[in-house]
Amino acid sequence: MTADNPSLRPWRDIERRKSRQIMVGDVPVGGDAPITVQTMTNTPTEDARATIDQIRRCEEAGVDIIRVSCPDEASTAALKQIVRAAKVPIVADIHFHYKRALEAADAGAACLRINPGNIGSEARVKEVVDAAKSNGCAIRIGVNAGSLERDLLEKYGEPCPEALVESALDHIKLLQDQDFHEYKVAVKASDVFLAVAAYMQLADAVDCPLHLGITEAGGLIGGTVKSAIGIGNLLWAGIGDTIRVSLSAEPEEEVRVGYEMLKTLGLRTRGVRIVSCPSCARQGFDVIRTVQALESRLQHINTPLSLSVLGCVVNGPGEARETDIGLTGGGKGKHMVYLSGVTDHTVESDAMLDHIVGLVEAKAAEIEAANAAAEPVAAE
């Protein structure tokens, strides 16, 4: 449908900030690469089996890159098995002990999340950079308003955009002094205004990829709203090359929320985009329960397509014209189904849910077959 093609709607275009590209494992970040979706495991890393199982669930949700905390030697010892099992690049989260970074790089981490200024002397920074170079690791500089350096807090009096950016630039210099340039940067805060202002200042000051996030955002609902306002504002302004939605929820939920943000802005198109009404007394079926069931049963669909679910004929036909499949509530338990924006047939309430799931699965298979047929055949 034309509604799913932003290039046909110039007022929807987002001009992305031009950043240089780095590689995190086999995933490009920055430049003209798709904006990647990240999350972080919350299992004890030394429990490799539990961590791998959680990574699997995140992979099924579509995660592009996943971060694993490495606070001790037992964690980095397990990292080799975790990296080997994962289908996506692994970022090792290192805070203070530089040896954990060396061990993680040797274990196969695709990226090290560090603050170079927190890991000790220039000699130790050089050791970490040398390990990253030897193992093909990228580095993410992670500046956080909650752990700013003491001298910056004394200078500015409190966490502020200027302090976050100065911290980032100081850490960048430590890497550049070692002739290392495969890095991305985050300047996170739990305060939306502070984070957005810091990212906007940093975007003007550097050309490296930026990792977006509103840290400690909160629970599933509150954190989603907070993150959508902060990350969404930056993405809409063209800023950001990779995102992590930080929720007090399971990591796969962070991935789903991240994709919903990108789909809303037309920046990624993975899976089913559902347009649905909030429901009212006019509804011909239980819209809320139907949408909940459809969201659950369609999670396995990766193919980009759109589905509208409207309870009555007030806005239903109009929304259905703009989606691949549409459902509009009708009277006497019979509801209208639209295919490619055109009225096609009716379905009764009892069969409605299974019927719509079947139509979506069939449409996804049709799109995948068409895409496969359109792919150029490699020369023999």
Q: What is the CATH number of the domain that holds 365?
A: 3.30.413.10
Alpha-carbon distance 115 to 264, whole Å?
Answer: 32
Are 32 and 167 in the same domain?
yes
Give me the CATH number covering residue 129. 3.20.20.20
Q: Spell out the per-residue pLDDT of the chain, length 380, in tens.
A: 434 554 556 777 899 999 999 999 999 999 999 999 999 999 999 999 999 999 999 999 999 999 999 999 999 999 999 999 999 999 999 987 899 999 999 999 999 999 877 787 889 999 999 999 999 999 999 999 998 999 999 999 999 999 999 999 999 999 999 999 999 999 999 999 999 999 999 999 999 999 999 999 999 999 999 999 999 999 999 999 999 999 999 999 999 999 999 999 999 999 999 999 999 999 999 999 999 999 999 999 999 999 999 999 998 899 999 999 999 999 888 999 999 999 999 999 999 999 999 999 999 999 999 999 887 755 44
**Inside any domain, residue 380:** no
Residues spanned by the domain of 334: 272-374
Encoded tokens for 265: 């802005």
296 phi and psi angles, rounded to 5 deg: -70, -45
First to last CA, the chain: 35
Encoded tokens for 57: 């669930």
Helix residue ranges, H only, the chain: 48-61, 73-85, 98-107, 122-135, 150-156, 161-176, 192-205, 220-236, 251-264, 287-297, 316-320, 349-374
Are 110 and 238 in the same domain?
yes
Are 10 and 27 in the same domain?
yes
| Residue that is last in its domain, among 225, 245, 264 | 264
Instruction: Give the burial class of 375: count Cβ atoms within 10 A of its Cβ; 0-12 exposed, 13-18 middle, 19 or more buried.
Output: exposed
Helix residue ranges, H only, 90-160: 98-107, 122-135, 150-156
**Inside any domain, residue 379:** no
Any idea what DSSP says for residue 55? Answer: H
Total number of domains in the chain: 2
**Inside any domain, residue 255:** yes
